[in-house]
Amino acid sequence: MKCVDDFRLMFGKREFVPIMIGGMGVDISTAGLALEAARLGGIGHISDAMVNTVADRRFNTKFVKDKLKQFKFNVTNIDKSIVKFDLGQLAEATKLHIGKTMEAKRGAGLIFVNCMEKLTMNAPKETLRVRMQAALDAGVDGITLAAGLHLGSFSLIEDHPRFRDAMLGVIVSSLRALQLFIRKTVRCNRLPDYVVVEGPLAGGHLGFGMDWKNYDLATIVAEIKAWLHAEKLNIPLIPAGGIFTGSDAVAYLENGASAVQVATRFTVARECGLPEDVQQEYFKASEDEIEVNQISPTGYPMRMLSKSPAIGDGIRPNCEAYGYLLDANGSCSYITSYNRELDANPGVKRLSVKDKTCLCTQMRNFNLWTCGHYTYRLKDTTHKLPDGSYQVLSAEHIFNDYQFSKDNKIALPG
Ligand SMILES: Cc1cc2nc3c(=O)[nH]c(=O)nc-3n(C[C@H](O)[C@H](O)[C@H](O)COP(=O)(O)O)c2cc1C
């Protein structure tokens, strides 16, 4: 029986261990985690979700404070259309986060940034352009376009000197989404360098409706592979979502996948950004405590632990400080839900908002515990300690287990 190490991901003439750690916002896939993947010869992702906040935490900058100071007068106003990002500061924060990560890179692997279109930031096109251009300026090895169709994203960076040499990839959950993307980007005379095919068992937002159970990753990968073959397009395919063991990965690699993208196993790595008490919740989770719901204001279903403190919490929208989900008109569906509850419950100190969540604040505070479907198996990947808690793992241990394990086995830490 083969193991992942019997395969290599080829980007042109360059070879990598075919393991990509997926982007996990907000700073769950930290620089430290991505750097480990690169050091071990694979691909790591950081994320540019809420990059001003992430930069403040990492480098003691004051991007969030500055924005809040500028718009403080608007905090109680339900109209958030005035709350805009300073594009210069956004570029600076992105360059800091990515540039410092690239400086620290060791080993033969690569560092990519996960860039979500759904972070519309009250000026979708302008902010996305700045985020992508600043990422290229900062020397990132590649950009993975996520959470959206990204039909215009390539054209936003077409004039950048690194447009043709940086790796550019896209995450899709259907053949149709890929066809639309390729039809649009063909105008820039540039194909994606890789396509991540994300199935319905992934963590974070899902590219499916609430009927996600009707889909399966292997079928979607096979459809996309057949279409690429018929079109004579040779683009590496990277399945993601529910690939829990090295042997799960081998099954895809033997069927022609170029690599796999994985994330859930790394949520319990020491280098991961989740606080340790939250990691213990991931370890403890049982299958019936993992739900897909519609509380994300992005409109995509999202998978999370049903115990997440964010669920039902009715905090005041914090768009003056954050505001990453404000659409082109300065609206966010959480604001609508919050105001409805505020009107219905005058004088109530702590509101409960059930249908939507303030995703920015909740993700920033690690109160929304998004996770992959197989999170309930994490307890089987480590030791239970005498005090009842579970032993947190090193990213290297998890990476090596994916790379070298056979026969559906999972190696426990030493
Ligand atoms: C905690 C967590 C956060 C995630 N956040 C993002 C994200 O911000 N952007 C994104 O494109 N995918 C996100 N994902 C999806 C992963 O990058 C990855 O494609 C997927 O989870 C792989 O499946 P697995 O978790 O079953 O290994 C997230 C996944 C997890 C577990």
β-strand partners of 111: 44
Angle formed at CA 159 by CA 157 and CA 162, multiple of 5 degrees: 75
Residue of 4, 19, 20, 24 with the most ligand 1 atoms within 8 Å of its CB, for mutation: 24
Q: What pLDDT does 124 receive?
A: 98
Give Cα 145 to chain centroid, integer Å: 10
What DSSP character marks residue 145?
Answer: E
Helix (H/G/I), strand (E/B), else coil: 261: strand
Candidate of 264, 266, 271, 287 to mutate for ligand 1, largest count of ligand atoms within 8 Å of Cβ: 264
pLDDT digits (tens, 9 = 90+) for 383-409: 999 999 999 999 999 999 999 999 999
Q: Which atom of ligand 1 is the closest one to the Cα of 240?
A: 22
Tell me what pLDDT residue 248 has.
Answer: 98
Rounded Cα distance between 112 and 216, Å, is 26
Tokens of 232: 């004579």
pLDDT of 300 reads: 97
Instruction: Say if CB 196 and CB 241 are below 8 A apart.
Output: no
Buried b (16+ CB within 10 A) or exposed e, 30-49: bbbbbbbbbbbbbbbbbbbb
- Using CB distances shorter than 6 Å, the residues near ligand 1 are 22-25, 28, 47, 49, 114, 116, 146-147, 171, 198, 201-204, 240-243, 261-264, 267, 370-372, 374
Ligand 1 atom closest to the CA of 372, numbered from 1: 25
pLDDT of residue 118: 97
Q: Whose CA is nearest to atom 4 of ligand 1?
A: 24
Q: Which residues contact 371 (CB under 8 A, 6 or more apart)?
A: 203, 264, 267, 282, 285, 290, 303, 304, 305
Query: SS3 of 233, please?
Result: coil
The β-bridge partners of 195 are 170, 237
d(CA 368, CA 144): 23
Taking the centre of ligand 1 as the mean of its atom positions, its distance from the CA of residue 7, in whole angstroms, is 23
Distance in Å, CA 370 to ligand 1 centroid: 8
Q: From the CA of 206, how far away is ligand 1's center (Å)?
A: 9
Enumerate residue ranges in the chain where pLDDT < 70: none
Q: What is the pLDDT of residue 23?
A: 98
CA of 29 to the centre of ligand 1 (A): 9
Q: What pLDDT score was predicted for residue 332? A: 98
pLDDT value for 80: 97
Residue nearest (by alpha carbon) to ligand 1 atom 29? 203
